[in-house]
Copies of this chain bind each other. A is one copy, B any other.
Amino acid sequence: MAENPVLPVYKEIEEQSEATIRFCGDSGDGMQLTGSQFTQTTAIFGNDLATLPDYPAEIRAPAGSLAGVSGYQVHFSSHDIRTPGDAPDVLVAMNPAALKTNLGDLKEGGILIVNSDAFTANNLKKAGYATNPLEEGGMAKYRLHAFPITTLNTKALEGSPLTKKDVERCKNFFALGLMLWMYGRPMDVSLEWINKKFGAKPDLAEANKMALRGGYNFGETTDLVKKHYYIAKAKLPAGIYRNVTGNEATAFGFIAAAQLADKELVYASYPITPASDVLHELSRHRHLNVKTCQAEDEIAAAGMALGAAFTGAVGLTGTSGPGLALKSETVSLAIMMELPLVIINVQRGGPSTGLPTKTEQSDLLQAMYGRHGESPLAVIAPATPGDCFSMAIEAVRIAIQYMTPVIFLSDGYLGNSSEPWKVPDFDKIPKIHVEHYKDAASFLPFLRDPKTLSRPWAIPGTPGLEHRLGGIEKQENTGNVNYEPLNHEKMVLVRQAKIDGIAQSIPLLEVFGKEAGDILVIGWGGTYGAITSAVEMLQKRGIAISCIHLRYLNPFPSNLKKILDNFDTHIVAELNLGQLASILRGRFGVDIQSITKVQGKPFKTDELIEGIFKIARSRGEPKWQENSLASPH
């Protein structure tokens, strides 16, 4: 673990409790790498943090174009934080296009670092600037540092045997060095990473190190930067930590779940943004009994996973919205066959191809209802990147215990953003109990466990248990094809009752805040950080507000209704047009208000606070009219 570095003495140090930095530049500028390197160092240093990468939809939009801007935001602090930050305190913009698309977000008075070398006439034009914005009045509200980073970097690399182009490509490490210096962070983590990455190409390794040190030294020596900042370690629960993105944690969680169930994991998927990284991650771990198949399409992927589930493996498939639509017929078959198929859906902006690289929570209704016939299944949603790990295990646990398909609703924000994750002690996680039926004499494929209503999982290879499953309605107990009217109704009802019964096996909801009060904010999925942060801020101002976060969406935790009844105003905040809100109204007949946002972006804490205020005021609560409360900042 890295220790606090000895801070250089000859510049002013300002202590802060938190900061948000955004690196942005052309897709070719390596901003994702810069951001994640800064994050790694910061994490190891001991801050709490959260990140938000933001890729363009194009692979490589033309260099310098607005469409080609790539960004990476990191929010780090000396206390517990849960979001990647509303607005950056520091913006590093490597070219005019990056400046143009990101400047609007920078806080007033924030630090703006730009690579002035990139502000050529050509680049300005590509970004749609008529004149050089650095020379305009508009910059006055920021602390602008326009450095010729390309030139400085080239100087720092003098003597490198690399080509000019390759030298130039190191400039992101120069920027990284500068930022490390600015926040008093050591370089060792990145130096080591460079060694590992470019081990085979010593010239490249050396150049990148020179760039990194160059940036760092430039900060230390230049007169243009007057001070740097110090953000103390956060008091995190003791343990071993690592950074993890939601997609990584998802992959890890399913591998862990399979091991907990003592099963092989079969993951069949068809690539689709933002779910592909789960496939990539899982593909790497053949040594952990993970079989991955890139199927010909999403339907085949679901089919393969279903076939695997029949065979006794953990059958998993993963996709994003359009792929979930395609899988629905197969999922309906899994419901009828009552097999433990798990479906990951990493949501993105819709409808149709929509905003493929952006986040949204608009597949909830599809997950709940997007199948023909009465076809209930379990739906769960992780709340944070790290929670993806735990909920993946829950998905497999529920699927196997109840012999049902389970939809695991992640989203692009969860999938791509990272947070420090306290690595769980695998040995302490409860095993997933699996019992494959063996007794031929008593076997009936659809004889139900009286408690869970689930049917036996009898797998091929077991002598005497040969049986056929199909999509046609089946006779109770025997599972034979059956078209009788009353049998059908019985089966429809029992499939529903089985899913409803899962509520008995899931944890009760915990209220964040007091158990009763004026306002209850309800969230689900990846909005956890933003919602709890907003609610916490309002609680601190003495408002009787609490929140709950639904990680189990079908069925709901059994104490949900009771909690709803303890509050006057219920607000669902979600990244769609009010999907959970309408489900809750339909289920419980309670009055629900909605805060919605459908912009392909996560909630900002501020937006939520404003939204809550607006609703509260419109509902006429006098205390919300007070001036002190009306403007939260």
Q: Which residues on A are within 8 Å of B, measured CB to CB?
A: 56-57, 67, 320-322, 324-326, 328-329, 332-333, 335-337, 347, 349-358, 360, 362-363, 365-366, 368-375, 470-473, 483, 485-486, 488-489, 492-493, 496, 576-577, 582-583, 585-587, 589-591, 597-601
Contacts and interface: CB of A to CB of B under 8 A. Distances in A.
B372 A473 contact: no
A553 B354 CA distance: 26
**Nearest 10 Cβ contacts at the A-B interface:** A350-B373, A321-B372, A586-B586, A351-B373, A485-B599, A352-B471, A353-B471, A351-B375, A365-B369, A336-B352
B353 A488 contact: no
Contacts of A587: 582, 585
B577 A324 contact: no
B372 A600 contact: no
Contacts of A354: 336, 373, 471-473
Nearest to A299: B326
Contacts of A598: 374, 488-489, 492-493
Contact of A322 (B324, B329, B352): B329
Given A589-B585, A589-B589, A599-B486, A333 B355 contact: no
A27 to B, nearest CB: 14
30 contacts: A67-B483, A321-B372, A321-B373, A322-B329, A322-B332, A325-B328, A325-B332, A325-B372, A328-B328, A335-B351, A335-B352, A350-B375, A351-B371, A351-B374, A351-B375, A353-B472, A354-B373, A354-B471, A358-B483, A358-B485, A358-B488, A362-B374, A365-B369, A374-B598, A483-B600, A485-B601, A489-B598, A492-B598, A582-B586, A585-B585
Nearest to A350: B373
Nearest to A482: B355
B332 A473 contact: no
A470, A599, A601 interface centre (most CB from chain B within 10 Å): A599
A577 B492 contact: yes
A557 to B, nearest CB: 19
A352, A362, A583 interface centre (most CB from chain B within 10 Å): A352
Q: What is the oligomeric copy number?
A: 2
A529 to B, nearest CB: 19
A69 to B, nearest CB: 11
Nearest to A365: B369
A472 to B, nearest CB: 5
B373 A600 contact: no
Contacts of A337: 352
Contacts of A375: 350-352
A373 B489 CA distance: 32
A365 B326 CA distance: 17
A411 to B, nearest CB: 12
A121 B346 CA distance: 62
A370 B328 contact: yes
B322 A600 contact: no
Contacts of A67: 483
Nearest to A576: B374
Contact of A577 (B374, B590, B600): B374
A356 B373 CA distance: 11
A353 B370 contact: no
Contact of A349 (B320, B373, B582): B373
Nearest to A56: B483
A360 B598 CA distance: 35
A24 to B, nearest CB: 15
Nearest to A577: B374
A329 B332 contact: no
A368 B369 contact: yes
A352 B376 CA distance: 12
Contacts of A373: 321, 349-352, 354, 360, 362-363
Nearest to A353: B471
A369 B369 contact: yes
A350 to B, nearest CB: 2
A492 B598 CA distance: 7
Contact of A371 (B370, B589, B597, B600): B370
Given A336-B351, A353-B470, A483-B358, A372 B488 contact: no
Contacts of A472: 57, 352-356
Contact of A355 (B370, B488, B590): B488
Given A350-B375, A353-B470, A597 B489 contact: yes
A164 B252 CA distance: 73
B372 A483 contact: no
